[in-house]
Amino acid sequence: MKIAVLFGGDSAERDVSVASCGQVVNALRSRAHDVVAVDTETGPLTEQEEGEVFARGIDRQPPEPTAASHLPIVVAALADADFDLVFLALHGGSGENGTVQSLLDIHGIRYTGSGRDVSAARWRGTRGSPSGCSRSRRFRRPSGAWRRLTPRWSRGISGSR
């Protein structure tokens, strides 16, 4: 199977995406798939470029804001490259908020993970926190007033209400 592993992104989690991509590429190649690492900023990488990017390690600085502007071009190029599947190794920002998923859907490209609607709803529902790991959430009551609810599992924790 010909698989593109899309990584990078425009968030401060780009470094996590690079690390994930390296692991995913190695795992897929070990199973005899034809795999190409595709950076959202620069497009498909050669094997030499892959080695350089993965060897660099984690970059503590977030990418420039212009990185997102390359995304539509990179996704359009994926459509022309005839991949069987795009494996999403993106973290944060446009990789999890439905943007990438929407672009892939427009081009009819198959991809891993949740679709655009679920991704966007989940992203909005957690106010930008993809994990949604908070001890309490705010829910609208039928009266229209907001009330803070604390999950039962955290009620015995010091400082919980």
Predicted local confidence at residue 62, as pLDDT: 61
Q: Using CA atoms, how far apart are residues 110 and 87, in angstroms rounded to an integer?
A: 9
Over the chain (161 residues), what is each successive 10-residue block's mean pLDDT?
Answer: 91 84 95 95 92 79 63 88 92 75 90 72 56 43 48 49 46
Predicted local confidence at residue 133, as pLDDT: 44
Predicted local confidence at residue 132, as pLDDT: 47
- CB 91 within 8 Å of CB 13: yes
Domain with CATH 3.40.50.20 in the chain: 2-130
CATH of the structural domain 2-130, one choice from 3.40.50.300, 3.40.50.20, 3.40.50.2300, 1.10.3720.10:
3.40.50.20
